[in-house]
Amino acid sequence: MAGEPTVLVVEDEPAQREVLAYNIRAEGFQVVTAEAGDEALVVVQETPPDVIVLDWMLPHVSGIEVCRQLKSSGDTARIPIIMLSARTEEIDKVRGLETGADDYVTKPYSVAELLARLRTQLRRTRPASVGERLEYEDIMLDMAEHRVYRAGASLSLGPTEFRLLTAFMERPGRVWSREQLLDRVWGRDIYVDSRTVDVHVGRLRKALRVGESEDPIRTVRGAGYSLG
């Protein structure tokens, strides 16, 4: 479904990979998988995930190396990484290597615990996906109630405009290209003309108009749109 966060699971053990993917999907997230470190690096470029669950021991390129590479590149450094490891001593070692992983989980782990750690990471990068309130200046978006307020007034938004505003409010200041908005709001598998984005941004601007309030959405010529 469009808008759901994508979790990349990197695990070479087929059974463990399947169990993880199954449980994460059951939480309502999208899952992509990779069996090896080099494959993971390719997948991240093709389908940038919102969070990565990364096993340490992997064929070809180790989890540590994958983590180090992703964290040292500007494009991918902000993607949270949860490292999986068989033993606590290994985790201590990974920590010592300063790979930049955001969290560490020892195998065998409980799925419930791993999911809780996933949500913690998503709360930082995709707050709307875990039912948080998002605020930007006088705009407040309540994910749990599925409502938007501006200067205290409740606004009426269509479902597409709601998803658009969610994307904008998760990362104020980020310039979104039309293609990136299509991926996030409409989903990667749906063909929609990029001018459709302009139409819905127009509707969102109109819906956000309250009294003398300013238009919070900026058109960036040749690039796309941003909030603020």
Binding site for Ca ion (CB under 5 A): 12, 55, 57
Longest CA pairwise span in the chain (Å): 60
Please report how close the Cβ of residue 68 comes to Ca ion at its closest, in angstroms. Answer: 17
Backbone angles phi, psi at 82, to 5 degrees: -105, 115
Choose between 1 and 15: whose C-beta lies nearer to Ca ion.
15
- The distance of Cα 169 from the centroid of its chain, to the nearest Å, equals 13
Question: Cα 217 vs. chain centroid, distance in angstroms?
Answer: 21
Query: Strands across the sheet with 30-34, in order?
Result: 30-34, 6-10, 51-55, 81-85, 103-106
Minimum CB–partner distance for residue 18 and Ca ion (Å) = 14
Mention every residue, 6+ apart, whose C-beta is less than 8 A from residue 162: 146, 148
- Identity (one letter) of the amino acid at 165? L
**CB-CB contact of 83 with 11 (8 Å):** no
When the beta carbons of 8 and 141 are compared against Ca ion, the nearer one is 8
Shortest Å, Cβ 77 to Ca ion:
24
Minimum CB distance to Ca ion smaller for 107 or for 205: 107
31 or 182: CB nearest Ca ion: 31
Please report how close the Cβ of residue 57 comes to Ca ion at its closest, in angstroms.
4
CB of 29 to Ca ion, least distance (A): 22
Alpha carbon separation from 163 to 62, 87, 208 (Å, rounded): 37, 41, 14
For Ca ion, the closer of residues 55 and 90 by Cβ is: 55
What phi and psi, each to the nearest 5 degrees, are found at residue 69? -65, -45
Kindly state the helix (H) or strand (E) to which residue 158 belongs, with its residue range.
none
Minimum CB–partner distance for residue 60 and Ca ion (Å): 12
